[in-house]
Amino acid sequence: MSVEHPLAPRWRRLVSLCYESLLLLAVILVAGMLFQLLFSRLAGTPAQFAFLILVLYGYFAWCWRRSGQTLAMKTWRLQLRNRANQLPSMWQVSLRFALCLLVYAPLIPLWAYTKHVPDMKWLLWLGLVWMALPWLWALIDREQQCLHDRLAGIRVVLLPIHRAD
């Protein structure tokens, strides 16, 4: 029988997300360099974007299925659990990734577009509102879970501190 842990507070999940974004930057840079070394003719094409998405999916799916945690989540003692208080299934992990991708992936081309077309800076603000929607949902959710977690049937729990005695 698994132990029931309390739900993680929003602020802790948000800080973990910020830390995760720094780690993902390193993963994307290494994967991008590897892609360019192996497939230099396809660099900068949709094939490279698809490759990077697959690398990110592999990273998250492996971490979430193996232990319910990425490196950033381990640092902040967060873990993904399903409603039965077990590690999420592959379906739940895939659904959570797809929902997060829907929210965060459009921000990259939006940022690049507004960088080259200064008159469209309002689009960047619109993108930030779009990015905040799952977190705004957490303000009204009964368990303070983000929208992508609620839809995937996943809970983010706070693990206890393990002390070496």
> Does residue 16 carry a pLDDT above 70?
yes
**Cα torsion 136, 142, 145, 147: sign:** negative
**Cα torsion 56, 138, 135, 105: sign:** positive
pTM of the model: 0.85
Q: Which pLDDT belongs to residue 128?
A: 84
Q: Which pLDDT belongs to residue 44?
A: 83
The token pair at 8 is 């993680």
**Lowest pLDDT segment from 12-26, 52-66, 113-127:** 113-127
> Does residue 2 carry a pLDDT above 80?
no
- CB-neighbour burial class of residue 117 (10 A; exposed 0-12, middle 13-18, buried 19+): exposed
> Does residue 108 carry a pLDDT above 80?
no
pLDDT band at 165 (very low <50, low <70, confident <90, very high): low
142 DSSP assignment = T
Q: Could you read off the pLDDT of 134-154 as tens digits, one per residue?
A: 889 999 999 889 999 999 999
> Does residue 1 carry a pLDDT above 50?
no
| Beta bridge partner(s), residue 79 | 157
Q: Could you read off the pLDDT of 61-95 as tens digits, one per residue?
A: 999 999 999 999 999 999 999 999 999 999 999 99
